[in-house]
Amino acid sequence: MADQNAPHEEIEAKLSDYYDGMLSGPERDEIAQHLDTCDGCRAAYAQLEETMKALAGMKGKKEDAPAGMTAAVTDTINRRSAGRFFGRKTLGDRVPFGVLLIVAIVVLGVTAAILYSSSTGNLRTRTPEAPHMNGHGGVVPTP
């Protein structure tokens, strides 16, 4: 059984070329004759003409996006994606890892220097000092 829509699909596939005037004489005449008798294909051709005219009217026009469109689109994407895109960024996302590493090394170095220079710090190995004698056989405490 032959497909009843096959001739219409073939005609509709050629409508763009027909509109652009790119078909040979016999093909062009065949489509024109078909459009005179087929309401469905004629409607499809009318829709193609309308679309092409609308597109031609836009040629050369450049309009800016409405004010606030970028923020609205970003907000919509963020809301619909549950924050996976354009969401709040963590500190590691905003500051490069190398900078964080350098800051951490500096903080550790400063902390080590403070502990080492402190009289109560425990980073420096201290040699026990001999107790001071006060001459009477007693031990004088060192501050």
Q: What is the pLDDT of residues 63-93, one digit of tens each?
A: 777 888 888 888 888 777 766 666 566 665 6
pTM to 2 decimals? 0.40
pLDDT value at position 1?
39
Rounded CA-CA distance 48/17 in Å is 11
Q: Which domain holds residue 97?
A: 90-123
Distances (CA, A) of 136 to 8, 72, 76, 139, 142: 125, 88, 88, 9, 16
pLDDT range class, residue 5, cuts 50, 70, 90: low
β-bridge partners, 131: none
Higher pLDDT, 88 or 103: 103
Q: How many domains does the chain have?
A: 2
Report yes or no on 138 lying in a domain: no
Report yes or no on 80 lying in a domain: no
